[in-house]
Chains A and B, each alone.
Chain A
Amino acid sequence: DAGVIQSPRHEVTEMGQEVTLRCKPISGHNSLFWYRQTMMRGLELLIYFNNNVPIDDSGMPEDRFSAKMPNASFSTLKIQPSEPRDSAVYFCASSERQGASTEAFFGQGTRLTVV
């Protein structure tokens, strides 16, 4: 398996523009996570899905952020409008729920810079 695939790897955009980050989880995994990593706040869980359904979005910073998972093999994280403080590395991770034995596998991340 190719692992968790994220695109793009790098994104530079101007303040106010819409940004869409994409994630393809590992085939067969039914939990998907979006994290944001910054120097100041470390690794924050933004939202996670189970079987394509959003379970907990309490970490989404504000209404400018939205995430979808239309099917088991694809998820998006959208920021509209983007702001400089959104600059961070965004990671997607997936896991296969087997009772209590859950281990998350991470993608390479998308480095977002908003200027």
Chain B
Amino acid sequence: AQSVSQHNHHVILSEAASLELGCNYSYGGTVNLFWYVQYPGQHLQLLLKYFSGDPLVKGIKGFEAEFIKSKFSFNLRKPSVQWSDTAEYFCAVNARNTGFQKLVFGTGTRLLVSP
């Protein structure tokens, strides 16, 4: 069964700092990969997704992620964070062995950006 690991549970940054959040998954076959964001008190919203093609994926609000198949990783990056990026970030995966239906999430990373 697929699983997702997010190693950083809490990250604190100052505005304009660069961000990289780690995500590793365990399934060896074909996968779809996602990053979702949850702003305080709100539901999860999609930031970006990877299905196939260019492993460098660009999403909303200046976020990007790179799929490195050999490392089973899909790290999220942003060159310069803003106070409004304070939120919880979730990496998720679904895999071919479940027909790409079973969407499994990591435990999340809480990002706090100080002004």
Residues of A at the B interface (CB closer than 8 Å) are 31, 33, 35, 41-43, 45, 48, 50, 55-56, 91, 93, 95, 97, 99-109
Binds A, one of B38-46, B61-69, B76-84: B38-46
Output the nearest chain B residue to A111 by Cβ-Cβ distance: B41
Check A43 against B98 for contact (C-beta < 8 Å). no
Count of A-B contacts judged by CB separation below 8 Å: 67
Interface residue tally of chain B, by bracket?
20 to 34
The answer to whether B102 touches A43, judged by C-beta atoms less than 8 angstroms apart, is no
Say how far A53's CB is from chain B's closest CB, in angstroms.
Answer: 11
Q: Mark B9-36, 1 if CB is under 8 A from A, else 0.
A: 0000000000000000000001010101
| Chain A residues, CB < 8 A from B99 | 50, 97
Q: Of B45, B52, B105, which is within 8 A of A42 by CB?
A: B105
Partner of B46, one of A33, A35, A48, A103: A103
Chain B residues with Cβ below 8 Å from A102 are 32, 94, 100-101, 103
User: C-beta contact mask, B71-106 vs A, less than 8 Å → 1, else 0?
Assistant: 000000000000000000010101010111111111
Pick the contact of A43: B42, B90, B96 (CB < 8 A).
B90
Q: Which residues of B contact A (CB under 8 A)?
A: 30, 32, 34, 36, 42-46, 49, 51-52, 90, 92, 94, 96, 98-108
The answer to whether residues A100 and B32 also contact, given A33-B103, A55-B102, A93-B103 and a CB cut-off of 8 A, is yes
B102 is contacted by which of A48, A91, A100 (Cβ under 8 Å)?
A48
Shortest Cβ gap from A42 to chain B (Å): 3
Cβ of B41 to closest chain A Cβ, rounded Å: 10
Q: Which residues of B contact A100 (CB under 8 A)?
A: 30, 32, 51-52, 96, 100
Q: Which residues of B contact A108 (CB under 8 A)?
A: 42-43
Measured CB to CB, the closest approach of chain B to A89, in angstroms, equals: 9
Which of A43, A45, A103, A104: most chain B CB closer than 10 A?
A: A43
Chain B: CB-nearest residue to A4: B43
